[in-house]
Amino acid sequence: MATEGETWTTVQKHDGVLSFDDDVDHPYGDEDEAALEAEVNGNWTPQEKALHEARLKAKAKRRVRKSSSRSESLSESLSGELADGDSYSPKGKGPVPNDRKSRTGKGRGLPKKGGAGGKGVWGAAGMVYEVEEPDVKDPNYDEVAQGDTVYATVVPELDERELEKTVNPIVQEYFEHGDTKEVQMLLKELNLGHHKYEFSSLAVSLSLEGKASHRELTSRLLRDLVGKVLSESDMARAFDKILKELPDLMLDTPEAPQMLGQFIARAIADHALPMAFLDRYKGKVDCDHARAALDRAAVLLSMKREMVRLDNVWGVGGGLRPVKHLVKEMNFLLKEYLVSGEVKEAERCLRDLEVPHFHHELVYEAVVMVLESKGDTAVKMMCKLLQAFWKIGLITVDQMNRGFQRVYDELPEINLDVPHAHSIMESFTDLCYQESVITKQLRDSCPSRGRKRFVSEGDGGLIKN
């Protein structure tokens, strides 16, 4: 073979036996030379030949491991010889398997991780570890060993959509019971976050669509929330938002600018808004509706003694009004109806009073006016009015019965001023029954005055029982 010819060109013959020059580095020992001589003479058995090849491969591996720590130039020359088909290389080319050294021939030969890595090693020598907090996800975590455990309820912050869905039922329920402390308790249980000011804007927007009593309750709620749940800055941000949304609010409530101006004036009077709130908008308002609302608030606050009277800026609503005032309003309502004859206007006035539990007073006053009137005009008009209120459900059966029963009970006293009160009452109850205003039982319970027959003059004018 060509490689064998090149290998043996450097040897010399002595007495017919091949030998290496003394200057050449012998890779084999004496036993290897004897085995090599036996191989040349052809005296090897197959087992000996296989064993010899295994020994050569093992020595070649050891030689490669030793030479890997030499310089890069020597490694490259050695790898070139192995690539040419050196018989001492285990594979002839490519990296040696299971070699822990750098395969690129680079590196300083230092241990990995500075000596801090490896099996059974906890770190570099002299390293001090800090105390670590126990991890809850650690399989060996023991909750009992960590001391007293404190459980806290985490309430997520509400976004804009969830805030509106949560606040609307609270405000609507407040319009029914009017308890500001309950609203404070409910708001403290919620995590409003930086949307806290939007509660005030939503409450005012809902009250604009409601009644005057609702607006009065809203003003009281804003006054009680400041300093406990909301701050003056939160209230100012709420009214800033309402002023920006005023054109949209006017689509449902055309009187929104005037109402909002009254809200602002009332809030400033109740110290829910800072006094400098109006000054911030001077000369900086482009919207005509917002300017009208601010002008309305400025006028109310500038009038003499208006700060004191702003408590009644919405009027006294519903059952909070004195009974005498309600009786006076109902009398005026009935007298105006007898003059105009407009049932719709009378209905609107009665609804504005917001006293459905006191409608029996209207029935009572209407019947008394019939008894005190002259002619049949008042009788027919009052029957028509009560019939209209009955059909639309404005006056309930209980209120209607209670009003008539009050007249029945006071009929003897009324009879002192109106001698024919009994006969008028009987005819009026019959008419109301025909128009389905009252029940038959109520008509039959109407008291009737018995006839008192006098005897002849000879009996001394005594009355027969």
In this prediction, residue 449 has a pLDDT band, given cuts at 50, 70 and 90, of: low
CA distance 269 to 297: 10
Average pLDDT score over the chain:
78
C-alpha closest to that of 220 among 303, 297, 316, 299 = 316
pLDDT value for 35? 56
Give the pLDDT of residue 67.
Answer: 67
∠ Cα 246 251 253 (to 5°): 80
More confident residue, 403 or 66: 403
Q: Is the pLDDT of residue 61 over 70?
A: yes
Q: What are 361-413's pLDDT values in tens digits?
A: 999 999 999 999 888 888 999 999 999 999 988 898 899 999 999 999 999 89
- List the domains of the chain with CATH numbers: 158-310 (1.25.40.180), 321-443 (1.25.40.180)
> Does residue 77 register a pLDDT over 70?
no
Question: Which pLDDT score is estimated for 88?
Answer: 45
Give the pLDDT score at 417.
87
Residue 206: pLDDT band with limits 50, 70, 90: very high
Mean pLDDT of 414-433: 89
Q: Which pLDDT belongs to residue 236?
A: 92
Percent of the chain with pLDDT over 90: 26
pLDDT given for residue 304 in this prediction: 46
Give 85-131 pLDDT, tens digit per residue: 444 444 445 556 665 555 566 666 666 676 677 777 777 777 777 88
pTM assigned to the model? 0.48
